[in-house]
Amino acid sequence: MRPTALFTLLTLAGWCVPAAADTQQAVLACTQIGDPAARLACYDRATGSETPPAEKAAIDLSESARASFEHGKAELVFTSTSQTTAGDTATDATAYTPLSLAFDLDRNHDSGILSARPHRPIYLLPGWFNSSPNRYPSSPEHRADQSDQNHAETKMQISFKTKLMEDVFGTHADLWFGYTQISHWQVYNGSMSSPFRNTDYEPEFILTQPVKADLPFGGRLRMLGVGAVHQSNGQSDPLSRSWNRLYLMGGMEWGKLTVLPRLWWRIPESRREDDNSNINRYMGYGDLRLHYRFDDRQTLGALMRYNPASGKGGVQLDYTFPLAGRLKGYLQGFHGYGESLLDYNHKHNSIGIGVMLNDWDGL
């Protein structure tokens, strides 16, 4: 992709998504207000409405299991929703967490369907340092010529999602489309004309279902979901990498800690079309995302993958802090395999610093 095209896409994404991100951050701020009347007024200002949308009832998993056992057939039991508007009680206020706002678990977003919403972070890391550049990218199917890479480069990501359908199946489930694009740009490598070394494209469909179940140590299971995702780098052989997966996911909370595990199954490809037949060996069969939100808008995050059979995996650590307005400073570190598709079987350590453009740390 040409640099001008990427910057155009990055700019458009930065303008499209912040409006929804601003609303989500404003609603999160309302949860810190103790007085019910003041909190309700805060919700009204944040959403731009006098009457917030009705709450969504989640499937109560324990009650559904009990009712199904008693009646001898599958039966769904939903949680009761408050008869007052959201924000009237402390329970209502604490429900609107980052996980709830990301996937409309407690109420549908005012923007409705087919509007640009935050998905994963939009960021720019002008300084991204790689301890061990992958100068001979390879896979069992391909062996590339030497690539003269610099240790220092720029890393950037754009991401958004939109709701395609809401409240489907009569269970308040939602269908989403998400898109994420990550680029590594050898901007400081003038001898090679500063090329884009790799860009990963990741469209996906996600079906989410609000649920309710208590977990140990005061945790709550808030969401179950399934998804289908394609990821590829759009390059020709011998640098082409791609895979398709189906996954199961969950959304859990322990106070300000959000936990999202995923388990995936790679859709098989023919030997002729498979560019990376051993990718599961390095990327594993799932991942675990952690996100902790502090009161002062600082956040800590982690993304972990591990394949116990091969002993290989990777971990990414994230730290964000407020700078000005919705602009945040961003520090990211990575260790292991799979920092990009091209490097799925190459182990290295990387660290970078830059800015997050949409004040939404992603889930």
Domain ranges of the chain: 21-97, 113-356
pLDDT in tens, 180-203: 999 999 999 998 899 999 999 999
Find the helix or strand (DSSP H, E) in which 98 lies.
helix 98-103
**Nearest to 102, CA basis, from 258, 235, 230:** 258
Mean pLDDT of 309-337: 96
Annotated binding-site residue numbers: 193, 240, 275
CA distance 134 to 151: 10
How much is the pTM? 0.84
Catalytic residue among 111, 138, 194, 232: 232
Stretch among 92-106, 227-241, 250-264, 319-333 having the lowest mean pLDDT: 92-106
Mean pLDDT of 331-347: 97
CA distance 51 to 55: 11
Length of the chain: 363
CA distance 348 to 106: 41
Q: What is the 3-state secondary structure (H, E, C) of 258-289?
A: EEEEEEEEECCCCCCCCCCCCHHHHHCCEEEE
The reply to whether 340 belongs to the active site is: no
The CATH H-level (homologous superfamily) assignment of domain 113-356 is Phospholipase A1 (2.40.230.10)
pLDDT in tens, 70-116: 888 888 899 876 533 333 344 444 567 899 999 999 999 989 999 99
Stretch among 14-18, 133-137, 219-223, 287-291 having the lowest mean pLDDT: 14-18
Catalytic residue among 230, 277, 335, 348: 230
Annotated binding-site residue numbers for Ca(2+): 193, 240, 275
pLDDT-above-70 percentage for the chain: 80
Query: Is residue 39 over pLDDT 70?
Result: no
